[in-house]
Amino acid sequence: MHAAETIKVLAFYAFTKVEDPQKMIKEHKSFLESLTGKGRIYISEEGINAQCSVPAEHLEAYTSYVLKNFYTADIKIHTHRAHPFARLIVKYRKQLVAMDQIVDTTKQGVHLESKEWEKMILERDENTIIIDTRNDYEWEVGHFDGALLPKLNKFREFPAYAEDLKKDYDAEKTKVMMYCTGGIRCELYSALMIKLGFKNVYQLKGGVIRYGLENGNRAWQGKLFVFDDRMVIPISEDKAEPIAECKFCQKPADSYYNCANMDCNDLILACPECIERQKGCCCSDCLENGRVRPFSLATVTTPFRKLSHEDKQNLSKKEPVSA
């Protein structure tokens, strides 16, 4: 097998009752470790939310294990050249999606398959809105054509945004289409919209990941932000032009970098030329002050990791990096 095709990246979730989350956490972590898997997996009494990766030869064993314990899981799979996660984390998280509200997940929006979703987009009228439920740094590099793009920076900010929508749209008449990366946020957000009084709510089953795997990017613009080392990926094999701009020169760009200054570490959307010139920093202040990590575009293939205490101390002793 070619080296570039040895790792399978999985995204899945399932809302199903887990009697003993701590026991499941230990079992799941042990099994995934035996397959040399990596990733971030959260388990609670309400289910599981996972993004992880395994060598291709272990894919069948792992998917069988997942479906045995979480039979409703809709597993989306991509191929990548290496593990896009630094390590394996399997732990308890009370809220699988941090929303700080209790909603009735038995009352969700209508789940639309990829083709149904695309058809509804093409046939939508003035009483139909499409809501991108993701954070602003996510939709900046890619989104569905015509979607509302809320300026949110955290998942838990969506309820306030949803309340404001009621001021602008008739909850009785408006058809609300919602989507997110893999589908899990919409499971809760669509229930919230119904709780707020919206009568016609629809959600993209399997999220953008499933849509890209099944439909390509016909109704999609740009690329997809993901919470792993890949950061920004095409949703399919179709050609995808950048829709965002470089922070520095405003030329088309769709690559994110973490600021090389450890005391900042903000995401930077930049073109290769500018980020190289900035030595990986988001501004001159970050470049000239604080603990700045060495940056080289030729060697940076993953986001900056948290440095060890010793490395931080060594950087602190160095002279500020000159521009």
Query: Catalytic pick from 52, 180, 259, 282?
Result: 180
Sorted by sequence, the CB contacts under 8 Å of residue 184 that are 6+ apart come out as: 13, 49, 96, 97, 207
Sorted by sequence, the CB contacts under 8 Å of residue 78 that are 6+ apart come out as: 8, 9, 209, 213, 233
**List of E strands, the chain:** 7-15, 38-44, 47-55, 76-80, 88-92, 110-112, 128-132, 142-144, 175-179, 200-204, 220-222, 224-225, 232-233, 244-245, 252-253, 256-258, 267-269
Instruction: Report the interhelical angle of 59-69 vs 21-34 (nearest 10°).
Output: 170
Cα distances (Å, whole numbers) of residue 83 to 5, 7, 8, 38, 54: 11, 6, 8, 7, 7
* Spatial separation of the C-alpha atoms in residues 188 and 174, rounded to whole Å: 19
Concerning whether 283 is annotated as a catalytic residue, the answer is no
* Spatial separation of the C-alpha atoms in residues 57 and 220, rounded to whole Å: 32
Sorted by sequence, the CB contacts under 8 Å of residue 236 that are 6+ apart come out as: 212, 213, 215, 216, 217
Tokens of 144: 């569905």
Question: Hey, CA dihedral for 178, 163, 156, 24, is it positive or negative?
Answer: negative
Catalytic residues: 180
